[in-house]
């Protein structure tokens, strides 16, 4: 079972990876500025080591303790994991994919979602 401290470390690593990926996307496609279609992106925690996650599981409680919120359908998620001040759905999606990759290295199954604004 993943421990609280590991989740905190994972989240920090995920945020750094997400921010780097989003900024790299902006640098490559928009000269470092916001551009393209406006939207949002997040990555969602689907399973941990093959088991579903909800607020009553040990992993769910550990995610809550680490500050991970749940979305409208009660799925734990990282909203705008890049924590970057832009509205480019493509850059934010790149960040969400990078964050999901990090979390997957810790045993989580992740999904990435985005939507236009």
Whether residue 1 is predicted with pLDDT greater than 90 in this model: the reply is: no
- Count of the separate structural domains present in the chain: 1
Whether residue 15 is predicted with pLDDT greater than 90 in this model: the reply is: yes
Confidence at residue 79, expressed as pLDDT on a 0 to 100 scale:
95
Give the mean model confidence (pLDDT) for residues 41-59. 94
pLDDT in tens, 16-32: 999 999 999 999 999 99
What is the residue range of 36's domain? 4-116
Give the mean model confidence (pLDDT) for residues 69-83. 94
Whether residue 65 is predicted with pLDDT greater than 90 in this model: the reply is: yes
The model's pTM is 0.95
Contact 76, 63 (CB under 8 A): yes
Confidence at residue 83, expressed as pLDDT on a 0 to 100 scale:
94
109: CB partners within 8 A, 6+ apart: 45, 46, 47, 48, 50
């Amino acid at each position: 079972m993943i421990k609280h401290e590991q989740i905190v470390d994972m989240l920090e690593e995920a945020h750094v990876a997400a921010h780097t990926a989003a900024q790299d996307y902006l640098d490559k496609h928009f000269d470092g500025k916001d551009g393209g279609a406006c939207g949002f992106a997040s990555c969602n925690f689907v399973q941990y080591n093959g088991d579903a996650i909800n607020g009553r599981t040990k992993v769910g409680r550990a995610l809550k303790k680490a500050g991970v919120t749940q979305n409208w359908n009660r799925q734990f998620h990282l909203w705008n994991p890049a924590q970057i001040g832009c509205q480019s759905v493509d850059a934010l999606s790149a960040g969400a994919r990078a964050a999901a990759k990090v979390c997957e290295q810790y045993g989580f199954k992740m999904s990435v979602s985005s939507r236009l604004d």
